[in-house]
Every structure is written in structure tokens, then in C-alpha cells.
Amino acid sequence: MFSTLESPVCAEVVAPTLDAEVELVAQLQRGSEAAFRTLVDRYQNRVYRTAFSLLRNPEEAEDVAQEVFVEVYQTIGRFRGEAALSTWLYRLATSRALKTRRRTQTKKRLAFFTSLLGFRNEVLHEPPDHAHPLTLLEGQQQFELLLAHIARLPDQQQVAFTLRHEQELSYEQIAAVLGTTVAAVESLLFRARQTLRKHVQPPFRHA
């Protein structure tokens, strides 16, 4: 059923009109497999890229995309159209990606502390020294540094930043995804940019 997700970089279909989206939802709620395949073809890239922007891991992003469309398939009957279909999909993608990231971080922390402690909890290895000043690098390493600091932003700031600068959503669309106001989105983006400018040199100028 989800074989189309195996190639998340395929060309996207142009966004449907409101009437076309309403009709697609109606067909989905009637259990049409053809409509579900149309949904996947139309939105899989956006869902995958949103998840990847938050996770930076292709396998985890693909898993999230699969989960999103499974959830849509299972719960489309409860969709009442209070928000656009695309908004719902972005909400699902960001929510599941953040949950996946928190789960992954918890596993990493557990593995780290386990590696430090022996059978009787004696320290076996010295923890890495994080006190040395970070040497600022150019090119790819500088880009990776930027990604690392984006990943450290609070969840709401990171989602807003990702949807704005990687998915190119409008402030109004981001507000709909987050269930907040345009003013709140502006505040989230302002704080995110300020944080990135503090930590990334040369100053991040393309926000």
C-alpha cells in the first residue's frame, strides 16, 4: 500500500484547489484506495522533507512519513475539515518527528551513561571534554554547525523555523499548523534567529 513512499524525492503534484481537496477527503472517507494513493503521491515529499528537517536522519524520516499516512488512513473518518488537509499532515509530521527525536535522544543518553559505568557503577571512561572553545569552521562543517544549533532550538521555535525556511510556508500556514497566531509565529522566528546569530559565525543572515 505504501510502496510510493520508498522514493521520497519524486516530483510533487501541484497543490489541489479547495474543491478538489474536499472531494479527495470525501473519497478517502469512503475508503477509496485510489484516493489514498493520490494523497500519498501528492503529499509524500512534503511530509518526508518536514520529518527529515527535524530529524536529519533519512531512515527515521521515512518511518515517520509511513506512520503519518497510516494514521491518516486509519483516522480520516474523523477529519472534519476545520483545517486544510495539508495543515493536518504537517501537524502529524511535526508531532511524530519530535516524538521520534525525543525517543532517540533518550536512548543516546542511556547508552552514553551505560558506557561510562561498569558493573558496579564505577566510571570506566572519562567523559568527553566539552569545555574547549569551539573552533569555527568553513564550508560543510559550518553548515553542520548551523544544523546542530537549529536542532537545539526549543521545539516550537524549531518547527516554526523549519516550516518557514525549509518548507517555505507562509506565516499564516505555520500558525495554522501550530494552532497559534501569526504574531506568535513571528515571535518564535525572531527568537530562533536571535539564538542562531549568537552561536553561528559568520552571523546567520539568511533567516
Could you count the other beta carbons within 10 Å of the beta carbon of residue 185?
A: 25
pTM to 2 decimal places = 0.64
- Cβ contact 137:147 at 8 Å: no
**Cα dihedral 185/78/3/63 (nearest 10):** 50
Distance CA 33, CA 48 (A): 21
Question: What is the model's pLDDT at position 198?
Answer: 83
Alpha-carbon distance values, 58 to 48, 54, 97, 197 (Å): 9, 11, 12, 27
Distance CA 113, CA 99 (A): 22
pLDDT surpassing 70 at residue 132: no
- Cβ contact 137:145 at 8 Å: yes
Distance CA 88, CA 75 (A): 12
Q: How confident is the model at residue 140 (pLDDT cuts 50, 70, 90)?
A: low
Question: What is the model's pLDDT at position 130?
Answer: 37
Question: What is the model's pLDDT at position 41?
Answer: 95
Instruction: For 4-41, give the DSSP string.
Output: GGG-TTSPPPPPPPHHHHHHHHHHHHTT-HHHHHHHHH
Q: What is the pLDDT of residues 151-186, one digit of tens each?
A: 889 999 999 998 988 888 999 999 999 999 999 999
Domains, the chain: 3-96 (1.10.1740.10), 134-207 (1.10.10.10)
Distance CA 51, CA 63 (A): 9
Amino acid sitting at position 103: R
Please give the grid coordinates belonging to residue 121.
Answer: 557503577
Q: For the chain, give the percent of residues with pLDDT over 70.
A: 69
